[in-house]
């Protein structure tokens, strides 16, 4: 138990470090830039006709206040942290006066759901098939899967999503290609609504799964072929343990350990993919929110989504790290 607590402490420290460095990067990027977001917003507002100079000055001051750009650098830095800890990013400029926090809160479940389901499916399926492919090396079908995985894995999310969009929206229109659910349904838990959400999630999830599955498949296949050479596997086979049991509880169980670490490490990358996929399919999650906020020039919203993304991914990584000892008992003892 003490080993586990020490492990949890270490991982929690790492989590704090990720959040700290990530938020600081966001701070540096926003505060070291030669372009002033306040002037950007003002020129966006004043480009539609005349505004009195006094009103502009007032606007400048209140925007400075709102964006946390008034006061000395130290004050600004402390204010930046205070706002993030309270998840208070002020009102959104493009959807005024809705607070940025509300917009993010509305988008977050969509992204989290899409990301969770597609990551779990891709990871589970990829590892299972990869394990089989490493164990039954001569199987034609599994070899073919390896070739497909190698071809799909390096393609960037955007390109694959666009291809799926063209195929299922243009050449063979059978699936909804945009939105999170049908427009005419109220967002309550009715069977129609749930069905519509599932239907709309198929294409975005499919593009995330198709790309994700490849790396887990290839990784698991090579891990399994390494574990197969270990003495304990040879011994189990000689002792007459049934081959399915050798595969599941001797080979795959051991090969899964680095794959869990891999999952934690690649979560940031998977999140990047989800952001892009959402934009392609007009899915109402954080990705669409972020891209639209950039187009609308909404400083508070862009900053809010970025910091929440960093926080969200770090929490996801921490959660995987905390589950890790379930799989690898060595962490619990030592």
Partner 1 sequence: MIVLLRDLLRDSPEFRIGAVLVVFVLLLSVLASFSPYPPESVYVVPPDVPPSLTYWFGTTSRGQDVFWQLSFAIRNTLLFGCTVALISRLFALVIGLISGYKGGWIDRALMSVNDTFIVIPLLPILVLFYFMMRDRISWLMLALIMACFGWAYDARLIRSVVMSLKAREFTQTSLFSGMSTRQILTEEHLPYVMPIVFSTTMNNMVWSIGLEVTLAVLGFTDINTPTVGGMIYWANQHTAMVAGVWWWIVFPTITVIMVFIGLFLLAVSANAYIDPRSRLWSMEGAS
Interface with partner 1, residue 34, by CB under 8 A:
yes
Report the nearest approach of partner 1 to the CB of residue 44 (Å).
Answer: 12
Return all residues near 325 (Cβ < 8 A) that are at least 6 apart: 4, 7, 331, 332
Report the nearest approach of partner 1 to the CB of residue 170 (Å).
Answer: 7
Interface with partner 1, residue 267, by CB under 8 A:
yes
Q: Where are the alpha helices (DSSP H) in 136-190?
A: 140-152, 157-166
Q: Element (H or E) spanning 109, and its range?
A: helix 100-135
Stretch that binds partner 1, among 27-35, 46-54, 62-70, 121-129 (CB under 8 A): 27-35
Considering the complex, state which of residue 177 and residue 181 has its C-beta at the smaller distance from partner 1. Answer: 177
Stretch that binds partner 1, among 62-70, 82-90, 217-225, 237-245 (CB under 8 A): 217-225
Considering the complex, state which of residue 80 and residue 181 has its C-beta at the smaller distance from partner 1. Answer: 80
Collapsing DSSP to helix, strand or coil, 183 comes out as coil
Kindly report the number of other CB atoms within 10 A of residue 122's CB atom: 23
Distance CA 233, CA 322 (A): 28
Considering the complex, state which of residue 208 and residue 275 has its C-beta at the smaller distance from partner 1. Answer: 275
Among 1, 35, 174, 238, binds partner 1 (CB under 8 A): 35
Distance CA 182, CA 226 (A): 48
Report the nearest approach of partner 1 to the CB of residue 163 (Å).
Answer: 7
Distance CA 114, CA 205 (A): 6
Q: Minimal CA–CA distance to 133: which of 120, 147, 146, 149?
A: 146
Binding mask 229-258 for partner 1 (x = CB under 8 A): x-----------------------------
Interface with partner 1, residue 14, by CB under 8 A:
yes
Considering the complex, state which of residue 248 and residue 261 has its C-beta at the smaller distance from partner 1. Answer: 261
Return all residues near 85 (Cβ < 8 A) that are at least 6 apart: none
Q: Rounded to 10 degrees, what is the CA torsion of 311, 317, 320, 325?
A: -120
Positive or negative CA dihedral for 326, 258, 142, 270? positive
Collapsing DSSP to helix, strand or coil, 99 comes out as strand
Binding mask 153-172 for partner 1 (x = CB under 8 A): xxxxxxx--xx--x---x--
Site for partner 1 in 294-333 (CB under 8 A): 294, 299, 302-303, 305-306, 309-310, 313-314, 317
Considering the complex, state which of residue 264 and residue 322 has its C-beta at the smaller distance from partner 1. Answer: 264
- Exposed (0-12), middle (13-18) or buried (19+): which is 50, by Cβ within 10 Å? exposed
Considering the complex, state which of residue 137 and residue 242 has its C-beta at the smaller distance from partner 1. Answer: 137
Site residues (vs partner 1, CB under 8 A): 13-14, 17-18, 21-22, 25-26, 29-30, 33-35, 37, 40, 150-151, 153-159, 162-163, 166, 170, 218, 222, 225-226, 229, 264-265, 267-269, 271-272, 275-276, 279, 290-291, 294, 299, 302-303, 305-306, 309-310, 313-314, 317
């Amino acid at each position: 138990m003490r080993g586990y607590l020490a492990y949890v402490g270490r991982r929690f420290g790492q989590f704090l470090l990720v959040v700290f460095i990530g938020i600081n990067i966001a701070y540096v990027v926003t505060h070291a830039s030669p372009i002033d977001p306040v002037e950007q917003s003002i020129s966006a507002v004043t480009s539609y006709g005349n505004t009195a100079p006094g009103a502009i000055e007032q606007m400048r001051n209140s925007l400075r206040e709102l964006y946390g750009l008034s006061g000395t650098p130290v004050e600004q830095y402390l204010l930046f942290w205070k706002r993030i800890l309270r998840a208070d990013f002020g009102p959104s400029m493009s959807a005024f006066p809705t607070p940025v926090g509300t917009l993010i809160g509305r988008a977050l479940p969509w992204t989290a759901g899409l990301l969770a389901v597609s990551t779990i499916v891709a990871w589970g399926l990829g590892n299972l098939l990869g394990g089989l492919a490493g164990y039954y090396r001569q199987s034609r079908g599994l070899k073919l899967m390896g070739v497909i995985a190698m071809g799909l894995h390096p393609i960037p999310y955007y390109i694959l999503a666009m291809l799926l969009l063209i195929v299922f929206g243009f050449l063979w229109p059978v699936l909804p290609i945009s939105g999170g659910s049908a427009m005419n349904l109220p967002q309550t838990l009715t069977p129609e609504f749930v069905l519509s959400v599932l239907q709309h999630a198929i294409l975005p999830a499919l593009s995330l799964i198709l790309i994700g599955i490849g790396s887990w498949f290839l990784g698991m296949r090579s891990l399994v072929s390494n574990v197969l050479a270990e003495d304990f596997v040879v011994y189990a086979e000689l002792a007459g343990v049934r081959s399915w049991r050798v595969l599941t509880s001797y080979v795959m169980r051991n090969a899964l350990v680095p794959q869990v670490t891999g999952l934690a490490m690649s979560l940031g990358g998977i999140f990047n993919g989800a952001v892009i996929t959402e934009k392609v399919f007009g899915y109402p999650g954080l990705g669409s929110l972020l891209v639209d906020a950039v187009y609308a020039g909404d400083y508070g919203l862009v900053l809010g989504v970025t910091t929440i993304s960093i926080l969200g991914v770090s929490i996801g990584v921490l959660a995987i790290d905390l589950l890790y000892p379930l799989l690898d008992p060595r962490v619990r003892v030592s």
